[in-house]
A and B are shown apart, each in its own frame.
Chain A
Amino acid sequence: MNIKKYLKVYKKFLHTSLASELEYKTNILIDLITAIFSLIGSIFLLSIFFQNNDSIGGWEFEQALIIQGIYTILNGITNTWFNPNLTEIVKHIREGTLDFVLLKPIDSQFFISFKKITPSGFLEIMLGFCLLLYCIRINQININLSFLTLSLITIICSICILYSLWFFISTTTIWFVKTWNATEVLRSFLYIGRFPLNSFSFSLRIFFSIFIPIAFITTIPSEVFLGISQLWKILLEVIVSTVFLFTSRKFWLYALKFYSSASS
């Protein structure tokens, strides 16, 4: 009953935001070209690293491409859903329009997280999938049911962690109001997700597993693809993503208690 209602509302969200985004057709076209160039650029950078080396942090070029593929998919998802919606929280709080969101007979987190959609991110997701398919071929990975389920589980967990991180950072604006750039900081840290975690020094590896779990976001799914991931890592990722989702939800509810509308 309830889920039906939310699905219905989401359909309306999709419809309205697609309609408004498609007004800017050249924009979408330019964004598509940007996505393609961005992927070419990252592969170019990776190829510089592998110019005179066979492996970086134990990853060969063909294997590192998998990380790139997964990063591209996740980046596409970020650009399609997280970025347009969660940067909007800042605007809501600055202009006091969060009141209208809170008054609606619908969960405020749902409304804020899914209201908008940027269609140009779809191409990035597709590009990522193509790259992954290519990687499956060159790395001679055999596809079977357990491989598919495990990779699906880990990627979904990555998306959940990523979402929680974005949501977490955006929520802090309730206190700081003017942190437009906090998401920029997150973005630049996430950039590291393009490279295997083992290629960093020990201290950075610790930092990127505990504070900003980039390790979980791209490296573990890639290891699952290569069939070299241990079961405990996958379990850990599931646990971490649940904890993240749960905490970000609690944090949002907690932060709302401190929300006082603009000018009050």
Chain B
Amino acid sequence: MMSNLINSKILTLLKVQYSNMLEYRVEIALWAISGIIPFFMLNIWTNNNLNESISISEIMLSRYFLCAFFVRQFSVVWVVFSFEEDSLMGKVSPYLIQPLNPFFRYFAQHLAEQITRFPFAVIIAFFFFIFNPESIWIPNLGILFLSIISIFLSFLIQFLIQSIVACLCFWTEKASAVERLLFIPTLFLSGLLAPVVSFPQYVKSWVYLTPFPYLIDFPANLLSGNATNIRGGFIMQILWILLLFPLFKKIWSAGTKKYTAMGS
């Protein structure tokens, strides 16, 4: 009974958000295009033969960056910006009365957007393969399944981190500055611009303890068939989720206690 209720709730939310997102196709297509930085990076790497120094073949590196593009496409999170706007506009108050944590709403929004984004990402990948026909490959089903899980876990980690930051809105009203700060290590350490294996030793020694390499580098390596520690990666992803989730719950309950509607 209870699980049925939750199921129907989630399904309804997803359906509503999906039809909502379909209204914004152009916008989502533009989002997909704005994620093509990994391809430019690939161009720098292969055009200068930089891949030889980290002993990854050109084909494997091009697969890596294509996968990095895909992982990024399906793990982009913007909950801070939505929540900040909603809380500044006073939309959070009605959400709070509903018997559903408002973050479920944002969660459904993100999932719906990912479904809408999928065809655009496939089109971009198609063009990539036209220009680089030698890098076409088909991952086996098991790997594909594992990578989808790891991409979802990466999305969860980022969603939790951003939700924690979003809860800061209860105190400061403008939390997106904190998000912009956190985006810097995400950009440079996650493997979006350069695979983590290429990092100098003094960074590699500690970076695997942070959540960043598991956001893009680990799922991308897994999907593209580059060497990676599969079990270790999953363990770290789950550990970070287990660490972040209670933190989110705590800051959420503290925040809602602190919350006063605009004008009170």
Contacts and interface: CB of A to CB of B under 8 A. Distances in A.
Interface stretch (A69-77, A108-116, A180-188, A252-260): A180-188
B171 to A, nearest CB: 10
Given A47-B200, A179-B26, A31 B177 contact: yes
Contacts of B53: 51-53
A199 B181 contact: no
Interface residues of B, number: 33
Give the dominant DSSP class at A's interface: helix
A264 interface: no
Contact of A49 (B50, B174, B188): B50
B194 A48 contact: yes
Interface string A43-74: 01101110111001100000000000000000
Contact of B31 (A24, A48, A184): A184
A5 to B, nearest CB: 34
Contacts of A51: 53, 198, 200
A179 B43 contact: no
Contacts of B48: 49, 53, 56-57, 199
B241 interface: no
A28 B26 CA distance: 33
A33 interface: yes
Interface in A1-59: 24, 26-27, 30-31, 33-34, 37-38, 41-42, 44-45, 47-49, 51-53, 56-57
A188 B69 CA distance: 13
B233 interface: no
A30 B200 contact: no
B199 A187 contact: no
Given A181-B31, A187-B34, A41 B24 contact: no
* A49, A53, A180 pick with most chain B CB within 10 angstroms: A49
Contact of B172 (A26, A38, A41): A26
Given A57-B48, A179-B26, A200-B43, A33 B181 contact: yes
Contacts of A34: 177, 180-181, 184
A178 interface: yes
Interface size class of A (residues with CB under 8 A): 35 or more
B174 A184 contact: no
A79 to B, nearest CB: 10
Give the dominant DSSP class at B's interface: helix
A45 B37 CA distance: 14
A204 interface: yes
A37 B200 contact: no
Contacts of B188: 41-42, 44-45
A26 B176 CA distance: 12
A176 B43 CA distance: 32
Contacts of A185: 30, 33-34
B247 interface: no
A119 to B, nearest CB: 13
Contact of A204 (B26, B27, B43, B193): B43
B200 A48 contact: yes
Interface of B: 24, 26-27, 30-31, 33-37, 40, 43-44, 47-48, 50, 53, 172, 174, 177-178, 180-181, 184-185, 187-188, 193-194, 198-200, 203
22 contacts: A24-B174, A27-B174, A27-B177, A31-B180, A38-B184, A44-B188, A45-B194, A48-B198, A48-B199, A49-B48, A52-B50, A56-B50, A57-B48, A176-B26, A179-B30, A181-B27, A184-B30, A184-B34, A188-B33, A191-B40, A199-B44, A200-B47
